Chains A and B, each alone.
Chain A
Amino acid sequence: DTAVSQTPKYLVTQMGNDKSIKCEQNLGHDTMYWYKQDSKKFLKIMFSYNNKELIINETVPNRFSPKSPDKAHLNLHINSLELGDSAVYFCASGGTATNEKLFFGSGTQLSVL
């Protein structure tokens, strides 16, 4: 069983479109995250979310929004996609005081044409 799964694995779309990436974790963690890996492999946190608080990295454009229907899911919605949004997006869960390890999904490679 995959601990953190995200879909789709690849996403190719046109500039200006709106798209979503889904993430699910079956680890029972309270906190989930989205990270972005750019073309130079640099990883940076975008959001941290649990049922009590959403923390947004201030560098993330407001076209990006996380949506959590329940504790096991954190989806990433992106509006008005731009060329610069092309990257690999990783979902993760864990990282709390009692579950300090962070587990990552396998990534979604987004290509904006």
Chain B
Amino acid sequence: GEDVEQSLFLSVREGDSSVINCTYTDSSSTYLYWYKQEPGAGLQLLTYIFSNMDMKQDQRLTVLLNKKDKHLSLRIADTQTGDSAIYFCAESKRYGGSQGNLIFGKGTKLSVKP
């Protein structure tokens, strides 16, 4: 199976919370990331979490990591229409001397309805 899996679609109403889930396979990943891609745009790093952490909060974003279950989630509080985008979960793998080999999920398309 795929190294990183996430559901493909999520639809929420403006003002609600969005929760995007992800599972990964490599327990040796040092970092886990959430990237956002707006239509026709590049990848924007939203947040990342070090593998020895359980939770990381950054303004409206909360990342939860369950290392035992290899489960990562991204919660967006008070979701806005500007949050509509594709959200990619990624785990890092060593690639020579770098951590830059990111294994991406296929992305979750978040649609926010007014």
List the interface of chain A (C-beta within 8 A of B).
31, 33, 35, 40-45, 48, 50, 52-53, 55, 90, 92, 94-97, 100-107
> Once the chains are docked, how many angstroms separate the CA of A50 from the CA of B101?
13
- Known contacts A104-B42, A107-B42, A50 near B104 by CB under 8 Å: no
Chain B residues with CB under 8 Å of A102's CB are 33, 45, 100, 102
Task: Tell me, yes or no, whether B20 is within 8 Å of chain A by CB.
Answer: no
Q: State the main secondary structure of chain B at its contact with A.
A: strand
State how many angstroms separate the Cβ of B9 from the closest Cβ of chain A: 12
Task: Tell me, yes or no, whether B73 is within 8 Å of chain A by CB.
Answer: no
Known: A50-B98, A100-B31, A105-B42. 8 other contacts (CB 8 A): A42-B106, A95-B95, A95-B98, A101-B48, A102-B45, A104-B44, A104-B45, A106-B42
B92-112 at interface with A (beta carbon < 8 Å): 92, 95-102, 104, 106-107
Task: Tell me, yes or no, whether B43 is within 8 Å of chain A by CB.
Answer: yes
Which chain B residue shows the least CB distance to A95?
Answer: B100
